[in-house]
A and B are shown apart, each in its own frame.
Chain A
Amino acid sequence: MNPLELLATILLIPLASAAIICLFLRRGGYAAAAVSVVAAFGIMCLSFYFLFNWDGLAVTGALPWLELGDYKFELGFLFNYEAATMLAVVAFIGFWIHVFSVGYMDDDKDKGRFFGGLSIFMFSMLGIVLADNLFMIFIFWELVGFSSYMLIAHYWDKDFAAAASKKAFIVNRIGDFGFLVGIAWAYHYYGTANISEITAIIQVDPSKTVTGIGLLLMCGFVGKSAQFPLQVWLTDAMAGPTPVSALIHAATMVAAGIYFMVRIFFLLTPETLEWIMWSGAIMTSFAGFCALGQNDIKKSLAYSTLAHLGYMATAIGLGFPGLAIMHMAMHACFKATLFLCSGSLIHACHHEQDMFKMGGLAKKMPITFIAFFVATLSICAVPFTAGYYSKDTIIASAWGLFAHGDGTQYAWAFGLTMLGALLTALYMGRMLFVVFFGQPNSEKASHAKESSLWMTLPLIVLGWGLSLGAGWFVYDWIWAGGAMDAMLPTDVAHFMVNGFSEAAPGWKGAHHIYEEAHAPWVEWLSYGCIAGGLIFCWFFYGRGPSADRLQTKAPGLYHVFERHGWFDNIYDAYVAKVQQPFANFISLLDVAVIGGLLVRGSAAVAGLVGMVSRSLHVGNIHAYVFWFLAGVVLFSAFALGLL
């Protein structure tokens, strides 16, 4: 099988799985689950088989899909380093989330719909990873939107799930609006939609980058990765089952936005990058504050995802796309763990999601606790955990660029992301101590038991293993002096290392710029933030409290965090007070002015006269002339006896 066929197989496996479930296993229960999990396993095995045998050269190939005149639409693959990293993340994390789902959804009636949706999600995401042109990315982009719609609406008899799914899809479409206009512009400006060809054009003539195209394409990223001002769908999307949240937040949907920006990094102008950097850096601390104002464990984690997407966006804005991909990969490990842990907790506490009704779960659920603990350290960027390598480098490189004299905006980015790091320690510490320490605060929590092996095994792999060690690859370590090569040869991780650090301006470049600044205090400051934040939480929130101390002591401040900038209220008000009345008004005009005149006179000739006179009011000289002519022709036709 040649590489292209292998990639096509990887892409088509989940589609086949979804088709089988949709056609034959709608009520299949565990059979549907089995098909989906086996498909995910197949994707993982084939992906790693492919990655281990990959020589590092870009793989491309295309099939004409639609041709009309000079307009060509191709279905093609472009496989390079960033795609390699992304494929590894999607395939690996995706598989473990599938496994977890089997345990989590054990009491659900609609397993067929759920697992079919997971397969469609994998298919859409793999399509984005492999696509070689903007058109094809857009197709899978829309399909990702649809898959998330389907999965968020899983509990569709509940109002909130219906509303959340609708919101996710529509908000994403708002982003896609700009994306699509950008694609049309880019296609006509460069004469092609193929990413490699556009890259070549820009390499020859770097002046052919256009800020407008970059900003429009960025709209797609803003929608899918839930960046300002379209971040509102992400927290509502928690209405879906928890494994879906894990999938959306770690390996698929929001990661797709980052990945896309990295793919088109070459056509972004400095203006676009600065915009991305500002919006990302502000998001890191804004979302951090919001996370402090949520009692629902999943919503708090959702804001944490927003903050970390902000870090990735900042990395892109700083000019280190490889670093963004690396943080995406590290984040995928620990965020998947955190969501799966929260799923394990929620499942054990019979669908209780309020952290302050949990408490004291460390002893009852030790495996979940350890995984959560490691992931917390990792997301806070404690040295040598996965998050440390990427997150800390983003913060430090922002300072590095400022010290290098590139502009004061980098000092702002540094400050905001550093504040974000402090906030990460605060909201994660709060979550950790409230949920796992002290005593159970509710009947449900006191009966909690450790989850089944279906759920704990993914936690061990992703939490104990990857959240801890995923970042070690960047140092090109020779494992145990080469003795381990038989089991884990160094070049196994070659594709990862390259994806992060060498191929694009990535980890190495960012690290280098920081080292040049000779500012070891930056490192110490971030350690201080982590330690300070966690220690503060230990004393402020206490161990396993039954109420949020911030909420009781400073309800006003808590309320500000909870309302997360009143974005939802503003948008809801717009829809209810502006959009709908406007639509109703237009509809009234349509009925009264356009329809009304006719209906009144529809008896016979009056209708005709009404129509003619109405069209005279179109205010268009052509129409006037036309109607005049039409009248003349009509009468002459009658006169000549043609009618």
Chain B
Amino acid sequence: MDNFYNTLILLAIDIPMAAAIVLLFGKKLGESVSKIIAGIGFIAPALIAIYLWCSFGDAPKEYGYAYLRSFDLGLHETLGISLTLGLNGISAPLFLLAGLVGVAAGLQAIMSKAERKSTYLLLLLVMQAGLMGVFASVDIFFFYFFHELALIPTFIMIGIWGGFGRRAAAMEMTVYLTLGAMLSLLGLIYIYQATDWEGFNLIALTEYVKANSISEVVQHNIFGLLLFGFGILVSLFPFHSWAPRGYAAAPTANAMLHAGVLKKFGLYGLVQIAAPLVPEGALAWNPVLIWLALGNILIIGLVTIAQRDLKMMIGYSSVMHMGYIFLGIATYTVAGVGGAVILMFAHGLSVALMFVLATAVYQRTGTYDMRAIGGLGMKAPILAGFFVAATMASIGLPGFANFWGEFTIFIALWKNYPWAVAPAVLGVIISAIYGLRASAHIFMGPQTEAFAVASEGKTITDITRAERIPAIILLIGLAMVGLWPRSISESINEQLLTQPVYSPATMASVEQSAKPVAATAEQKEEPAS
């Protein structure tokens, strides 16, 4: 039976990969056949992810990992690398996220009108395989490898299928993300070196760290590399400018997968790898992280308000929401990091949903300029309903998953950084401003003249099935966690409780050693509360 589950994880990576290979060599298959193949490549991992998720609670676990299994690919002896797959309490919800967003993006792509569709689907399938692999990997080499596997198609897709300004955007994104990936790789190799070249297996690394101590300086350096490496990949302020432009230029399905899932790689790396392995380094960098995260929320929040282009606005708002997640991580408490993981899950679904709907708006109006649209709601009321729901989800209305993440992070933040709560909560107002403005501009009020002229003679339809199915999948995910947060919080909670860096007792002892840095930071920051 165990083998059955392990095989399922492997299949979740292999099926999309196999589908991609079939599409690569089967150029003559015809569109409908390649659509079916791609469909299988997206639906199968989603079903596997849901199935594994449902059986996760009762599954037997080793070191917190269920479905654990190693495949030696011949590198184990020399480099300590082996393909080890498994899910723990943190990676399981993200694995589910990858499956859900993957199937939504896949269906969106299959039903879209992209040119050279079979190549388009092929690249998406490679991306999907990589995404499933990222969160299933217990070996940090493969964790990184799968990320690169998913990242490279992103560059190609923006370059070929991208919208306005795709070349500059693709170039900027490539430069930034390559740098980010390089820094994180250095950090990971540094860990490899600091743990006596034993290997890349996360479980073994965790055990090593428990038994031996890594010197403070080394911890400090490793976390610095990982923080900025991962930070660039997650658009930590001020390394964010690739994100909104990249997403604005990216084809929809690609933007959904990248913003929704791939971007969580860096955050996941911080929560699952960096903080537990080098806790002292994490605490030492914390004052910096808090300020940068507040930069994400407040500065990027204001930038988001200034946007007129719907896709740019979504891109910036997604950068802004990363700030909450970074803040959650910076609390280093079970509640804060748990909130961060919930928000990772929620944000992944909600941003993908926003991209689906933004594309739907574009297909009806021919523009992303929000001021040029108006009164679309009269013509497409159901689309308007979806859009308002998606906006409300992304600005953290209770009833959707995002609320639990944000709320928990705010509450947890008070414990160690009470002064940071008020500036962080300001983001709640900021997001209400841009979110409701967008809804009001696009869907409410009378039609603008520009829109009336542009749409003259055309019949504007309401949401089509091709748009509705991905949207419903994502919305169900958001509402499910929104109404019953324990559905994902229990596994997260169990896993976080086992990691000493997130429990208050260790925190206190480590804090002593990290005091000089923290103390100077606190002196400046006191009056805000």
Contacts and interface: CB of A to CB of B under 8 A. Distances in A.
A278 interface: no
A69 B429 contact: no
Given A594-B241, A618-B238, A633-B186, A71 B334 contact: yes
Interface stretch (A241-249, A365-373, A414-422, A576-584): A576-584
A232 to B, nearest CB: 15
Contact of B168 (A146, A599, A622): A599
Given A135-B407, A187-B411, A594-B241, A637 B186 contact: yes
Contact of A146 (B172, B228, B392, B444): B392
B335 A68 contact: yes
A5 interface: no
Contacts of B175: 598, 602, 604, 607-608, 611
Contacts of A153: 444
B436 to A, nearest CB: 5
A595 interface: yes
Interface in A395-433: none
A69 B493 contact: yes
Nearest to A155: B444
A162 B440 CA distance: 6
Interface stretch (B65-73, B199-207, B302-310, B449-457): B302-310
Q: Which of B221, B240, B428, B444 has the most CB of A within 10 A?
A: B444
A582 B429 CA distance: 16
B496 interface: yes
A142 interface: yes
B486 interface: yes
A180 B428 CA distance: 10
B425 interface: yes
Contact of A169 (B182, B432, B485, B490): B432
A138 B396 CA distance: 12
Contacts of A66: 404, 408, 485-486, 489
Interface string B317-338: 0000000000000000111001
Given A142-B398, A580-B305, A618-B238, A69 B428 contact: no
Contacts of A583: 302-303, 305-306
Contacts of A594: 238, 240-241
Q: Which of B306, B392, B428, B437 has the most CB of A within 10 A?
A: B306
Interface in B163-184: 168, 171-172, 175-176, 179, 182-183
Interface string A435-470: 000000000000000000000000000000000000
B383 to A, nearest CB: 13
Interface stretch (B11-19, B263-271, B413-421): B413-421
Interface string A145-189: 010011001001111011101100110011011001101110110
A68 B299 contact: no
Contacts of A582: 302
A157 B446 contact: yes
Contacts of A108: none
Contacts of B339: 68
Contacts of B415: 188
A642 interface: yes
A174 B437 contact: no
B33 interface: no
A224 to B, nearest CB: 15
Contacts of A611: 175-176, 179, 239
Contact count band on A: 35 or more
A376 B503 CA distance: 61
Q: Which of B183, B399, B502 has the most CB of A within 10 A?
A: B399
A586 interface: yes
B426 A177 contact: yes
Interface in B203-255: 221, 224-225, 228, 238-241, 245
Contacts of A519: none
A586 B302 contact: yes
A184 B414 contact: yes
A156 B374 CA distance: 11
A184 B418 CA distance: 9
A599 B179 CA distance: 15
B161 interface: no
A55 interface: no
Given A180-B410, A180-B425, A590-B241, A143 B377 contact: no
Given A66-B404, A177-B428, A630 B225 contact: yes
A608 B179 contact: yes
Contacts of A163: 440
A65 interface: yes
A156 B428 contact: no
A603 B415 CA distance: 46
Contact of B338 (A69, A142, A166, A176): A69
B288 interface: yes
A71 B408 contact: yes
A580 B245 contact: no
Contact of B437 (A69, A150, A166): A166
B397 A142 contact: yes
B375 A587 contact: no
Nearest to A612: B179
A535 interface: no
Given A169-B436, A629-B221, A633-B186, A184 B411 contact: yes
Given A177-B429, A590-B241, A157 B407 contact: no
A184 B179 contact: no
A573 interface: no
A143 B493 contact: no
B377 A157 contact: yes
A614 B485 CA distance: 42
B428 A67 contact: no
B377 A156 contact: yes
Given A69-B497, A180-B425, A184-B414, A170 B432 contact: yes
A184 B407 CA distance: 9
A161 B414 contact: no
B282 to A, nearest CB: 14
Interface string A69-80: 111010000000
A303 to B, nearest CB: 25
Interface string A39-81: 0000000000000000000000000111111110100000000
A188 B421 CA distance: 12
A188 B414 contact: yes
Interface string A363-385: 00000000000000000000000
Contact of A159 (B334, B421, B445, B502): B445
A163 B437 CA distance: 9
Contacts of A8: none
B36 interface: no
B425 A157 contact: no
Given A65-B486, A146-B397, A583-B303, A173 B428 contact: yes
Q: Which of B239, B382, B426, B432 has the most CB of A within 10 A?
A: B432
Contacts of A158: 445-446
Contacts of A552: none
Given A69-B335, A71-B411, 14 more contacts: A71-B334, A138-B398, A143-B397, A146-B392, A153-B444, A158-B445, A159-B446, A162-B444, A163-B440, A169-B432, A184-B418, A608-B179, A614-B238, A622-B285
18 contacts: A26-B382, A67-B493, A68-B489, A69-B335, A135-B411, A142-B397, A142-B398, A143-B399, A161-B444, A162-B444, A169-B432, A170-B429, A170-B432, A174-B429, A187-B414, A602-B172, A607-B171, A622-B224
**Nearest 9 A-B pairs (CB), nearest first?**
A69-B334, A162-B444, A68-B338, A587-B306, A71-B335, A595-B241, A139-B398, A583-B306, A184-B414
Interface of B: 168, 171-172, 175-176, 179, 182-183, 186, 189-190, 221, 224-225, 228, 238-241, 245, 285, 288, 299-300, 302-303, 305-307, 333-335, 338-339, 375, 377-378, 381-382, 388, 392, 397-399, 403-404, 407-408, 410-415, 418, 421-422, 425-426, 428-429, 432-433, 436-437, 440, 443-446, 485-486, 489-490, 492-493, 496-497, 502-503
